[in-house]
Structure 1
């Protein structure tokens, strides 16, 4: 049996199921088929994929990394490694745009293992139900009695803006050339988020999603977050939080959200044998998705697991409560340079939201959105340059 090096992210949701599955493959010498290493959530979100692919055979990644990965030619297409029946089933049966997010030019470049998107989360002892619209969210925060926070750290200021834009009826672009978001729509979304940010509990804007949810569960000084990536691990046990759909513009409208989750990619440095391919394929067996994965702190990707009664009973209905949101989630661009752009644009937006404790003017919001759009459109020339050297 060949030993492979894998990389995932350092959270129970990201590592426990993969490590347990690998342990079950150990040979007579006790060596697992895949030796999983980990890096932080921040590393998962922004580490250069080309550098990681030089050191690992199997990488758990997020779909925006595909732009840089494909430009560098460091991944093997899933379609050429696995049976067509499995690929077709993943395209058909994974929840929301999970498989679509890892599909570029008709090819699947990662196995969509973990499905997640931005959803709302609340303290059940403070809020009986989550606000259904952004107007209701704003009113809740303005009332002052219920602490409302936003997820703004790292790339999440930009991701929150993209999701509000989608809820407001303007789908963000996936290719550069005509801006990332509609200027007026983006400015309105930025004004709304800036108003919420200035009312949020101190220090909350600098917390990544894991730390934000940990603070909610343990300190309980944040009662509601309208958009944060859902983690089933915080939906049960002591201090359980309640997750629900993201807000819409109007009641019954589309809940704006930007899909995340993870996919398992195989790098070109690896020569995968049948043992590895069969091992990875087993992770997508419906029984494994509804049993082994959630039993080991994972978040499945198959719709059948998201609608499973046992899986939902064990998770406070986390999956059914957020199903509508993930089914309508947006996919981010998969172009070279996007992950670096995402970090830089998020910093620009976060600075604008947190610059002072007064309202952001429409003119100032338009200027920031224009700067983000200009920076995004600059990726068009990078894409052309990368392709010419591919």
Structure 2
């Protein structure tokens, strides 16, 4: 009898595909199924409608801002129907930070947290042997060494939100940001529009980390999505900078979702549960360049040693990370808000008019009273 066959889509970085492809080659056949994984660029997260991907793939690796769009188009199967409420309850306790909670929307979970990440600090340990702890210390350091903000693509809005989260917890339901907190976050970003920031404004997190790894003229990025792969290449990581409310960071990472076109079999269910289990998360995934989502993996001394202390250096940030807007239209808003922030910062524009344009964009992309 032929094994059930499934097609999946993940992102084109070793952290995104290596463990999944290795599991498809070695674990899935023993479980009685066949999985083929395609890849798309990191930017494909923002560029491609989730409904179109769900029409072509059984399994989709996505990030949490897509869930509102997915629910609006009814293109994913809730995980309550895939692995059951009991398994989800156990995973809720086991997943680090809000990794699983980020995929709960409209009363259901729409993905399993395969990979966990948040914006953390990255630095060259030779140039910055002791990383700054606060935003004031980051600003002071930027006068002495090259410090760059991560502002490419959606990351201008993500950096802004992380800074805002360090200044005050929570945000309004029907607006994007509290005006006073938004102005303070924008002004802090304006103070960090250094020559290094301007020179690297088009570089995504991977390019920024690559620059530090290669010894280019970049000493520190205060907020950049952590990639464990670079810990072995000379990049040091630390918790995100602290503000009045403590560490502020916006959750990243990815989840594995099941499309409506997929026929869920016992074999597939077993594979998904294996991917989220202790053995895969603490051994198989880290051994294949992945970044696990279980708290036990992040706290495992063996895993931490193997990756030069990346997990212990950044786990506090992940535990306290905040969520992005997830409503239908969140991706389009994130793109527009980032462009508005970049334009305003490059032009040295004051906070008020830039934030007014961002709030207008939020109103266009978000229906008042809907879940965010």
Q: TM above 0.5, one fold?
A: yes
SS of 1:263's equivalent? strand
Is the CA contact 1:119–1:325 (under 8 Å) kept in the aligned structure 2? Answer: yes
RMSD (CA atoms):
1.9
Cα shift at 1:130: 1.2
**TM-score of the aligned structures, taking structure 1 as reference length:** 0.90
- Once residues 155 and 197 of structure 2 are traced to their aligned partners in structure 1, the CA distance between those partners, rounded to angstroms, is 17
Of the three residues 371, 374, 386, the one matched with 2:357 is: 371
Is the CA contact 2:147–2:194 (under 8 Å) kept in the aligned structure 1? Answer: no
- Once residues 235 and 213 of structure 2 are traced to their aligned partners in structure 1, the CA distance between those partners, rounded to angstroms, is 7
Q: Is 2:18 the partner of 1:22?
A: no
Aligned residue number for residue 111 of structure 1 = 112
Matches within 5 A, 1:226-375: 226-236=222-232, 239-250=233-244, 254-355=246-347, 360=348, 364-375=350-361
Is the CA contact 1:198–1:353 (under 8 Å) kept in the aligned structure 2? Answer: no
Cα shift at 1:375: 1.3
SS of 1:257's equivalent? coil
- Residue ranges of structure 2 left out of the alignment (5+ in a row): none
- Once residues 366 and 220 of structure 2 are traced to their aligned partners in structure 1, the CA distance between those partners, rounded to angstroms, is 38
- Once residues 295 and 36 of structure 2 are traced to their aligned partners in structure 1, the CA distance between those partners, rounded to angstroms, is 29
- Once residues 308 and 65 of structure 1 are traced to their aligned partners in structure 2, the CA distance between those partners, rounded to angstroms, is 31
Of the three residues 197, 204, 207, the one matched with 2:203 is: 207
- Once residues 170 and 217 of structure 2 are traced to their aligned partners in structure 1, the CA distance between those partners, rounded to angstroms, is 33
Cα shift at 1:203: 2.8
Cα shift at 1:9: 0.2
Cα shift at 1:266: 0.1
Q: Deviations over 1:163-187 (max 9, x none)?
A: 10110115334x4x2x201112112
Q: Deviations over 1:252-282 (max 9, x none)?
A: x521100010000000011111111111110
Cα shift at 1:44: 2.0
Aligned residue number for residue 120 of structure 1 = 121
Cα shift at 1:26: 6.1
Is the CA contact 1:201–1:222 (under 8 Å) kept in the aligned structure 2? Answer: no
Query: Where do 4+ consecutive residues of structure 1 move more than 3 Å?
Result: 25-28, 380-384
Moved more, 327-336 or 290-299: 327-336
Cα shift at 1:315: 1.1
